[in-house]
Amino acid sequence: MSELLVPAQISNVTTVDPGEVRIVELSLPSQWKIENVWYPVLDTMRPGTAFLAKPWGARTEKWRRRMYTRSNMIIESAHVLETIINNTHTDKSDTSVWWQSDDVLAWLKTGHPIDIRVQWNDSHSALQIYENCRQCQHNNLRLEPDGEWGQMRVVALALSTGITPFLACLRYMKHLKFGRTSVNPGACVTLIVSVQHEQQLMAHEELLAMQCEFPENFYYHPVLTKSWPKDWDFTTGRIIRTQSTSEGHEVIDVRPLLSVCPDIHQRHVRFCGNTTARNQLQKGLQQEGINPLSFRGEVW
Ligand SMILES: Cc1cc2nc3c(=O)[nH]c(=O)nc-3n(C[C@H](O)[C@H](O)[C@H](O)COP(=O)(O)OP(=O)(O)OC[C@H]3O[C@@H](n4cnc5c(N)ncnc54)[C@H](O)[C@@H]3O)c2cc1C
């Protein structure tokens, strides 16, 4: 059976860093007609998951199929898929360059559609937005079931647009008061976000405000790697560093990370970024003899 697609409109574009990073919002209709029958389009996406869109490829000049992690969540914005897209600057960069182009601003104005993949629900009575994973696994960041995450101590490390799945999870957790009850102090989450310079920080004010509102549940630590203001209160330079020994072995220095999160061995570690950094994090913890409660990481 052919893939089911529903057209979305680009409903908002925020340029975080020109040519590099944009926050894009895609709005889906609440119902869609297939063979003359209207079906509801259900938004059931779990925080931490990704949807599939068909953007334009600037290099190949074709429609492409690409996954994007959602950064908002259904309670506050059903049918509006917010994501954060960066320019990957690789030889094969195709859609990631296009997302930074003026075309996208023109499509925002004209309402030119972008297709989003949907699928039938179990009873074949409605369409639901396709999500990349249905179960929590070591290589994805789908949020643990409700009732489970509220008991967890987590440290999340996000490199650049790797903040996206954590934003969806944190916005959801905040909505549910981090799972606090009269008997449970709720989840405890440290979010470390690493970007090159201050302008690339996403949802910075929102995360600072979240920390003020839930100081016992949430700590936000933004790291700047290339340039920083003189009075920057947080880590500067890379949070995980590498050195080569005289014998040519790679030694990973996780001390900057441990200074932000000294109890990492008592935490569930979550990572989103590139493969090299994920491997360095795992190797660095191993070299220090640190075994976190669990490790889940998504790489793009
Ligand atoms: C679960 C998931 C979630 C994601 N979430 C986000 C997100 O929130 N934000 C974001 O910015 N990105 C995200 N991505 C990455 C995103 O889907 C794109 O891969 C990324 O934006 C780069 O797209 P691109 O078209 O520029 O290039 P690519 O997707 O890197 O590659 C372009 C094309 O080149 C092909 N190709 C690969 N190797 C070669 C080669 N050696 N020679 C020729 N062609 C080759 C690929 O098959 C592909 O068709 C996610 C990916 C996944 C899997």
Place 244 in a pLDDT band, splitting at 50, 70 and 90.
confident
Does the pLDDT value for residue 54 go beyond 90? Answer: yes
Question: Counting atoms of ligand 1 from 1, which one is nearest the CA of 66?
Answer: 17
The answer to whether the CB of 128 is under 6 A from ligand 1 is no
Q: What are phi and psi of 218, to 5 degrees?
A: -140, 130
pLDDT digits (tens, 9 = 90+) for 140-197: 999 999 999 999 999 999 999 999 999 999 999 999 999 999 999 999 999 999 999 9
Task: Using only the alpha carbons of the chain, give its radius of gyration.
Answer: 20
Q: Are residues 154 and 292 in the same domain?
A: yes
Domain CATH for 96 = 2.40.30.10
170 and 118 in a common domain: no
Q: Is the CB of 49 under 6 A from ligand 1?
A: no
Domain that includes residue 114, residue range? 4-129
Specify if 118 maps to a domain. yes
The average pLDDT across 205-231 equals: 98
**Which residue, 129, 160, 192, sits at the end of a domain?**
129
Q: Are residues 194 and 283 in the same domain?
A: yes
Q: Is the confidence at residue 7, as pLDDT, over 90?
A: yes
3-class secondary structure, 236: strand
Ligand 1: does its nearest atom lie under 6 Å from the Cβ of 160? Answer: no
* Among 169, 212, 162, 194, residue whose Cα is nearest residue 72: 169
- 61 C-alpha to ligand 1 centroid (Å): 15
115 plus 185 within the same structural domain: no
> What pLDDT is stored for residue 245 in this prediction?
85
Mutate to test the pocket of ligand 1, among 15, 85, 86, 92 (most ligand atoms within 8 A of CB): 92
65 shares a domain with 29? yes
Query: Does residue 297 have a pLDDT over 90?
Result: yes
Nearest CA to ligand 1 atom 6: 68
Residue 134 located in a structural domain = no
CA of 66 to the centre of ligand 1 (A): 7
Q: Is residue 288 part of a domain?
A: yes
Q: Nearest residue CA, atom 49 of ligand 1?
A: 64
| Cβ contacts of 215 within 8 Å, gap of 6 or more | none
Distance 68 CA to ligand 1 centre (A): 10
Within this chain, do residues 164 and 284 fall inside the same structural domain, yes or no?
yes
Residue 211 exposure: Cα atoms within 13 Å on the Cβ side? 14
How many distinct structural domains can be found in the chain?
Answer: 2
- Across-strand partners of 159? 194
Q: Is the CB of 258 under 6 A from ligand 1?
A: no
The torsion angles phi and psi of 12, rounded to 5 degrees, stand at -165, 145
Same domain, yes or no: 155 and 125: no
Q: Are residues 168 and 101 in the same domain?
A: no
CATH code for the domain of 170 = 3.40.50.80
Residue from 26, 96, 131, 166 to probe ligand 1 pocket by mutation (most atoms less than 8 Å from CB): 96
**Do 105 and 166 lie in a common domain?**
no
**Which domain-ending residue is among 129, 157, 181?**
129
Kindly give the number of the ligand 1 atom that is closest to the alpha carbon of 70. Answer: 8
Are both 112 and 155 inside the same structural domain?
no
Are 155 and 239 spatial neighbours (Cβ–Cβ below 8 Å)?
Answer: no
- pLDDT at site 1: 65
Determine, yes or no, domain membership for 136: no
Query: If you average pLDDT over residues 36-40, what whole number do you get?
Result: 97
Asked whether residue 137 is assigned to any structural domain, the reply reads no
Q: Is 283 in the pocket of ligand 1 (CB under 6 A)?
A: no
* DSSP state for residue 197 in the 8-state scheme: S
Q: Do residue 162 and residue 125 come from a single domain?
A: no
User: 164 lies in a domain?
Assistant: yes
Q: Are strands 113-120 and 4-17 parallel, antiparallel or unpaired?
A: antiparallel
Residue 230 and residue 273 in one domain: yes
Atom of ligand 1 nearest to the CA of 57: 25
Q: What is the mean pLDDT of residues 88-109?
A: 96
Contact between residue 20 and residue 128 where contact means Cβ atoms under 8 Å apart: no
Residue 115 within a domain: yes
